[in-house]
Amino acid sequence: MDLKKLMELQAAESDIQSEVLDPFDPELGPHTMVLPLDAQARKGVPLATGCVDYFPDALAAVAELSRIGNEQHNPGKPLFWDRSKSGDEADALMRHFLERGTFDIDGVRHSTKVAWRALALLQKELEAA
């Protein structure tokens, strides 16, 4: 399904807001459903074939970075995004972008950190919308 069709489907259910299941829980993360509630519309968001299958290595690298960051900022605790640790996604993204193609001092690619920061920035924008 193309983006235009997906937008039309979402506009058709514009009276349905994102469903918030629970407030932010640092152990579990945010619980905001951003997928359409309509079953047919949800099928128009191909998470596996349109994202994971396109970028499996990149997503695995981002997931590994999440683990590394959790051990750095929350040693011994279950994996969770502690949003209080950093909120400057755009600036951090650009700092890492300037060094893309190289590795940071922790051995992680700067491009991986760019991707993580871009996802964090987008997630916060979508939650705020």
69 and 36 in a common domain: no
116 and 86 in a common domain: yes
125 and 62 in a common domain: yes
Q: Which residue segment(s) compose the domain that 98 sits in?
A: 55-129
Closest CA to 121 of 75, 101, 129, 77: 129
Q: Say if 50 falls within a structural domain.
A: no
Residues contacting 42, CB < 8 A, separation 6+:
35, 36
Closest CA to 50 of 113, 1, 114: 1
The CA-atom distances, in angstroms, between 50 and each of 46, 69, 84, 114 are: 5, 27, 31, 20
Whether this prediction's pTM lies above 0.85 is answered by: no
Q: Say if 74 falls within a structural domain.
A: yes
How would you write the pLDDT of the chain (129 residues) with one tens digit per residue?
Answer: 455 655 565 555 444 344 433 344 555 455 556 788 889 999 999 999 999 999 999 999 999 999 999 999 899 999 999 888 888 999 999 999 999 999 999 999 999 999 999 999 999 998 888
